[in-house]
Amino acid sequence: MQAPITETVVKLSIVVPCYNESKTLERCIERLLAIADESLCLEIIIVDDCSTDGSLAIARELENDHAQIITLTHEKNRGKGAALRTGFKRASGDFVAVQDADLEYDPDDLKKVLAPLIRGEADVVIGSRFLTAGAHRVLYFWHYLGNRFLTILSNMFTDLNLTDMECCYKVFRHDVIQNLEIQENRFGFEPEIVAKVAHMRLRVYEVGISYYGRTYAEGKKIGFRDGIRALYCICHYNAHQAPWPVQLFLYLFIGGISAFVNFLAFMGLFHLGLEVTVSAPVAYIIAAIVNYFLCIFLLFRHRARWNSAMEVFFFILIVFLIGILDLAMTKTLIDLAISPGVSKLMATGTGLIFNFLGRRFLVFPEPPTGPW
Q: What is the pLDDT of residue 170?
A: 96
The identity of residue 7, as a single letter, is E
Average pLDDT, 10 consecutive residues per value, the chain (372 residues): 61 96 94 95 97 95 96 94 95 96 91 95 94 67 84 94 93 95 88 94 93 63 76 89 86 86 90 87 87 81 62 82 88 90 86 81 72 55
Q: What is the pLDDT of residue 215?
A: 60
The residue ranges of every structural domain in the chain are 10-241, 244-363
Q: Which residues of 334-370 are buried (b: 16+ CB within 10 A; e: fewer)?
A: beeeeebeebbbebbeebbeebbebbbeebbeeebbb
How far apart are alpha carbons 191 and 234 in whole angstroms? 6
Q: What is the pLDDT of residue 149?
A: 92
- Whole-prediction pTM: 0.77
Contact 344, 271 (CB under 8 A): no
Q: What is the pLDDT of residue 120?
A: 94
Q: What is the pLDDT of residue 369?
A: 63
**Nearest by Cα to 16 from 86, 101, 81, 94:** 101
Fold of the domain built from segment(s) 10-241: Spore Coat Polysaccharide Biosynthesis Protein SpsA; Chain A (3.90.550)
How far apart are alpha carbons 249 and 247 in whole angstroms? 5
Q: What is the pLDDT of residue 249?
A: 87
Q: What is the pLDDT of residue 303?
A: 54
